[in-house]
Chains A and B, each alone.
Chain A
C-alpha cells in the first residue's frame, strides 16, 4: 500500500532582506512527511529550524520571504494559496507550538478565551458549546480543575502548564500536522519529560503527523521516526531515526553524536566539533561545514556537495561512506 504524504516540501529556499540584499538562510530543503509520523528537524542555533517552521504556515517576519520552492499540503501549494484559505489551514489542519510557552499566550486574555476563539475561528459553534469543548481539551492535556482554570490568565500558570494549554489549543481542531518548535527547551528537565510524553501520547491517539524541531539529537532519535539534520540552512543528512543514531554518515552528524557522548561522560570543555557555525547570511561557495570538518578536502571548499541517496538515507557529502 502506498501512503501519500500529508506534506511535501520541495526545494524550499527562504531569504532575509538585509541592506536591500537577499541572503538565503535556508536552501534546497526537500522532504516528505507521511501521515501519523514524527519527523525531527535537528540543528544548532541559527541553522534555520524556526525559519523553516514559520515558512510552512506563512508566518515569516516581514524581512523574510520564501524565494523558491513549493510546500504541498495534500497536493495544494500553501505558498500560492489565497490568504483566506491559508487562514483556514492554520490552526485547524496544521498547527504549531512554540519554544517559549509563557510568551506565546496573550497575557491579558484568559486561557479559556484563547481556546474558545481558536475553536470558533474554524467551526461554527455557540459560546457555550465552545466552553464545554475547551474544558474537554484542557482535561485532555492533563490540567486539573479545568472548568475553573478557564477563567485563569497565563501569568497564573507555570511554563509547563502554559505549554499544555498551547498543546490543547493546537490540537483543538484535530489537525493533520503539528509543528513543535523546540517545545521543551524553555522548561526544566522533569517538566520536559512530561511534555514530551504528552505530545507522543496525543500524537498516537490522534494519528497526526509531527514536525519536531530540536537541537538535541538524542531527544530527536528517541521521539522521531525520521531525522533531518540541518546545518547552515542546508540538509546534511536525513535518515530513519534508528539508522542515523546508530550509524551516522555525515561528519557533522558524527560530531553531534560524539558531543552527546562526551556530555554523558561529563567531559567538559571538550567540544566535539571545533569552530563556530556560520553566521547569518554567510554563504560559502562550498560545503558550509567544510571549515569545521575533519575530513574536508579542497573540493569541499570549492563546490557544494549534492544531497545524494546512500541506501535508505540522504547525505550531503563527497566522502561516500565505505563499509
Chain B
C-alpha cells in the first residue's frame, strides 16, 4: 500500500511536466510582444515593451524559457499574475479554498441524495418512486448548467431576494478582513466556526447554496443512475438471497448487504466528479460571481496572463493525480478484494 502510494506520487512530476510543457508550447504561438503587453500598463510607455521582452528573455527558444519557468517553480515561485494583481501562488492560496468549499458542499449533497435516491428507486423498481427518480434524473441531465444557474439567480435573488451572488456579503468582508478575525485554514466556513462567529458562517453558507445546487444537478442525475443500476444488479445476486434466507430484516438486506457492494462504483464516480468540480466550476463561478479558483483561471485566460494560466493548470494537474490516488485508497477501504501494490 505504502509502496503503491509512493509509486503513484513519483508519477506526479511526469504528469506535471507533460501538462505544463504542452501549455507552454501553445503560449509560444503568441508573439513576444503580445505576451509582454500585459506587463506594460500605460499605453504611453509602449517603448518599454522591448525592455520587458529582453528582461524576461521572451525571444529565447521554448526549451530555454520553459527551463527557466520550471526552475522558478521548483523554488516555489509561480511568477506574478497581472490579471489578479498578485503573485500566482498567493492567488491560488486565496481563491482555491472557496472553490474547495463549494465543491465539497456540492459533493456532500450529491452523494447523500444521489445514493439515497438511487437505492430508493432500485428498491421500488417500476413503481411510482422509481418513475419520479428517473424523471428527475433525466431532467437534471438535460438541463444545461448555465440555464439552471440563471433561472435560480432570477428566482431566488431577483424575485425573492433570499440568496445573493458573490462569496459573502459586504459586512462579512469587513469582519473577515478585520483585526479580530483569525484566518486559520483559509476555508471561511471552518474559520468562522473556529472564530465562533455564526453570522459569518451563515452568511458564507447562504452564498454557497445557489452555486452548489446548480453544480449538483448534473452530477446528481448521474449519481442516481449509477447507484440505481448498481443497486439493481446487486439485489439480483445470490448473496442477497442468502441474506434473506438467513432471516435478516429487509433494511439490512438492502443497506448492509446490497448497499455496501453497490456503493463501490459510486466512489470512483464521486471522486472523478469532485476533482472535475475543483478545476471546472468556471461557469458557475462566473454566473454567481463566486470568488473561486475557476474565476481566476478564466480571467487569466481572457487576459493572456501566461503565468496565471500555467499556475492554474499546474494546480489542476496536481489535484488530478492526488485526487485519483485518494479515490484508489478509498476503494480498498470498501472492497477487501482490492489490494494496492
Contacts and interface: CB of A to CB of B under 8 A. Distances in A.
A78 to B, nearest CB: 13
Contacts of B337: 107-108, 153, 155
A100 B239 CA distance: 10
Interface in B219-250: 237-239, 241-249
Contacts of A88: 247
Contact of A117 (B239, B241, B252): B252
A122 B336 CA distance: 27
A26 B94 CA distance: 71
A98 B247 contact: no
B54 interface: no
A169 interface: yes
Contacts of A121: 246-249, 252
B127 to A, nearest CB: 11
A87 B247 contact: yes
A149 interface: no
B260 interface: yes
B257 interface: yes
B139 to A, nearest CB: 28
Interface residues of A, number: 29
A90 B334 contact: no
B257 A90 contact: no
Contacts of B256: 109, 117
Interface string A150-175: 00010100000000001001000000
Given A98-B242, A100-B238, A104-B242, A109 B260 contact: yes
- Residue among A104, A108, A153 with the highest chain B CB neighbour number at 10 A: A108
A91 B336 CA distance: 26
Contacts of A87: 247-249
B319 to A, nearest CB: 29
Contacts of B244: 59, 90
Contacts of A117: 246, 248, 252, 256
Contacts of A109: 256-257, 260
B242 A122 contact: no
B261 interface: yes
B50 interface: no
Interface string A81-102: 0000001111110011010100
Interface in A59-118: 59, 87-92, 95-96, 98, 100, 103-110, 117-118
Contacts of A169: 242, 246
B242 A90 contact: no
Contacts of B247: 87-92, 118, 121-122
A29 interface: no
Contacts of B60: none
A103 B239 contact: yes
Contacts of A98: 238, 241-242
Contacts of A107: 239, 261, 335-337
- Residue among B247, B252, B336 with the highest chain A CB neighbour number at 10 A: B247
Contact of B336 (A57, A104, A108, A166): A108
B261 A91 contact: no
- Residue among A104, A153, A166 with the highest chain B CB neighbour number at 10 A: A104
Given A91-B246, A98-B242, A106-B243, A153 B336 contact: yes
Contact of A108 (B238, B241, B252, B334): B334
A95 B241 CA distance: 12
Contacts of B261: 106-108
Nearest to A61: B236
Contacts of A90: 244-247
Interface of A: 54, 57, 59, 87-92, 95-96, 98, 100, 103-110, 117-118, 121-122, 153, 155, 166, 169
14 contacts: A87-B247, A90-B244, A90-B246, A91-B246, A98-B238, A98-B241, A98-B242, A104-B241, A104-B242, A106-B261, A107-B336, A108-B335, A109-B256, A118-B247
Given A117-B252, A153-B336, 7 more contacts: A54-B241, A104-B239, A105-B239, A105-B242, A109-B256, A117-B256, A118-B247
